[in-house]
Amino acid sequence: MKNKIFSLKSILVAGAASLLLPLSSCDNQLEVTPYSYFTSANFFSNVDEAYMATLGVYQIMSTRDTYGWNVSMIFDADTDILQNQGTGADDWRAIAHYQGISQTTTFFTVWSQFYIGIDRANVVIEKIPQMDLYTNGTPDQKNQLNRMLGEAKFLRGFYYSELVRLWGDVPFKIKSSQAGDNFKSGLVDRYEIYTQIIKDMQEAALLLPEATPTDERINKWGAKAILARVALFAGGYSLRADETIKRPDNYKDYYLLAQQQINDIMAQNPYSLNKSYSQVFKNQCQHTNLEPSENIFQVAFYNPAGNEGNSSWVGYFNGPLTTNGIYPTSIGRSLVPKPFHTSFNAADQRRDFSIATYSINALGNKIPLLTARQDESWTVAKWSREYQTNSSLERSYTHINWVIMRYSDLLLMRAEVENELNNGPNAIAYDAINQVRRRGFGADVPGSRIGITLGNKGTGYTSAANVVINITGGGGSDAAAAVVTVTNGTIATIGMLRSGDGYTSVPTVTITSTDGKGSGATATAQLLAKPTNAAINLPTGLDKAAFLKAIQQERAWELSGEGMRRADLIRWGILATKIAETNTAVKLIRANYFYPSFTNFVTGKHELYPFPQNETDVNKGITRQNPQY
């Protein structure tokens, strides 16, 4: 079991901190009311109290209000690779389908949570340097307090970077709220805020430890990695108040900043890719370890009572549709458009692991979704219930951490930065993207994928749903196949749902029925040779534009469902283009393929969210709305 930052003790501490730290009104603007005991000399008297306050800054991320659902799953849809299921008045549908308005509750929920986190960080940043122990404590006490100061600065910068990413120009303050303050703050230009974000994160990196984390607390290299991402967003395209979408004239300065951070990290070499793509997410689901060599920054989720607080919907909302039985229910709301599945090379192991072309029934068997309109129900699969602990504490909520950045993301950012600054890809850029590609194809995992061929079709079978294809032995894992159709009692067609990996010999395939009817069907497996590294690597000689397109596609294949696609498309200035391209592709499949975003999306509007009305009704310092709202 991994060492969670929110252990039972920590949850109690953070809960106390949340009572002491500023709160927000539930139906008006963000009104910050400092708790007099917390801000008095009675608090911050020792390291434990400082840690309590610092945990309170982290805790903002560890709820469904932010990274447990809203920011991670709702705000990343709809794009070319992901959309939320169905239509209706639910916020999670309306926002994803570009129908959210200023009165949509979830906008204010996220907005207010980030500002609460910022104000908590402001308190910590002000109070720790005032502590006697900060100046006169033991070396260990000083180191701990400096670390916490660095964490608060980093998190303040991170929360502001998220507000700017989602809303553009926003209210801005770096002083803790005091009784009597005027909270009606106007909008501040995003680049003034970016200046402070960069300063905060640079100062944080100087204070944070270099050592590999043993829990979810940020370290020096994590801060630099997130700063590199922030720099790419600052240097990217964004929607402005005058309805133009543009990048700053000095955008290359931000790319240079990103390059510097990435080079600093790479010089120390603290990260590496897990050889197995699938194992990264299995470890995440099992809580077996924090995967610190690959997971650079992640949000902790844990609730010892199995309740909502400090828990998430990772693997409940965004997993394969699963009927309660062998596994707990998963509601399968995060859908994958079929053209994204088609875009993969069939030998790319990320395809079958990332996309569920099946549902899971109460017996734990995979039911293929391969006929008629079932391809419109394919879902994200990385956090499937079949990989989870299935603990009684994780049936309605889960304790799966949300990973904000993985090392493969950093490698792809490196490739992008080098391509931009050198007017085309250099050897560094090619090496970075090819590392990601080779892992995606399982190049360093011994063994092979498999395919399955139907032999005898048997007799007496009642329906495809009652027939199970079992794959055993061979030394590999994750391969899955299912019967697609039964005709006149015989198995007519089977489908490969996952080709798996690591098979060093041909596994045994058996076909059984769950209702005791039917027999005689057989199938055999074959080992499928992996492509060579030369075939996996990107072709040499690409120009700048072609290499950028390769990066954009690789980020989709590598990071699908991980919360950044919509933001990436916006910073590249191609969100509208990708939505249009996806609409064309799905309509070629069938005219009524469900993809509402094309109809709803408005260029020059939906690249930002509206300022929440709960805020603007009271905060008259905000004198305009975001474009076209």
Please write the tens of the pLDDT for every residue from 444-474.
Answer: 999 999 999 999 999 999 999 999 999 999 9
The helix (H) or strand (E) run that includes residue 283 is helix 277-286
Q: Would residue 73 count as lying in a domain?
A: no
Average pLDDT on 131-142 reads: 98
Q: Would residue 628 count as lying in a domain?
A: no
47-59 and 139-167 helices cross at what angle (nearest 10)?
Answer: 20
CA distance 65 to 350: 29
Closest alpha carbon to 504 in 470, 472, 527 = 527
Helix-strand-coil split of the chain, %, nearest 5: 40, 15, 45
Q: Would residue 6 count as lying in a domain?
A: no
Q: Would residue 453 count as lying in a domain?
A: yes
Q: Would residue 505 count as lying in a domain?
A: yes
* 520 close to 459: Cβ distance less than 8 angstroms: yes
* 360 close to 386: Cβ distance less than 8 angstroms: yes
Which residues, other chains included, contact 171 with Cβ-Cβ below 8 Å and sequence gap of 6+? 115, 185, 186, 187, 188, 619, 621, 622
Q: How many folded domains does the chain comprise?
A: 1
Give the model confidence (pLDDT) of 227-274 as tens digits: 999 999 999 999 999 999 999 999 999 999 999 999 999 999 999 999
* 408 close to 439: Cβ distance less than 8 angstroms: yes
Alpha-carbon distances of 349 from 200, 253, 408, 449, 542, rounded to whole Å: 39, 37, 15, 8, 25
Q: Would residue 504 count as lying in a domain?
A: yes
Q: Would residue 454 count as lying in a domain?
A: yes
Give the model confidence (pLDDT) of 58-69 as tens digits: 999 999 999 999
CA 617 to chain centre: 32
Residue 497 token pair = 């749902």
Q: Say how many C-beta atoms besides its own lie within 10 A of residue 439's C-beta.
A: 24
What 3-state class would DSSP assign to 565? helix
Closest alpha carbon to 316 in 410, 389, 236 = 389
What 3-state class would DSSP assign to 52? helix
Owning domain of residue 504: 449-529
- pLDDT at residue 180 in the model: 66
Residue 259 token pair = 């390059």
- pLDDT at residue 24 in the model: 36
Give the model confidence (pLDDT) of 533-547 as tens digits: 999 999 999 999 999
- pLDDT at residue 373 in the model: 97
What 3-state class would DSSP assign to 222? helix
- pLDDT at residue 3 in the model: 60
The helix (H) or strand (E) run that includes residue 286 is helix 277-286
pLDDT at 171 over 60: yes
Q: Would residue 508 count as lying in a domain?
A: yes
Which residues, other chains included, contact 535 with Cβ-Cβ below 8 Å and sequence gap of 6+? none
Give the model confidence (pLDDT) of 399-454 as tens digits: 999 999 999 999 999 999 999 999 999 999 999 999 999 999 999 999 999 999 99
Closest alpha carbon to 317 in 387, 373, 397 = 397
- pLDDT at residue 491 in the model: 98
141 by Cβ neighbours in 10 Å (0-12 / 13-18 / 19+) ranks as middle
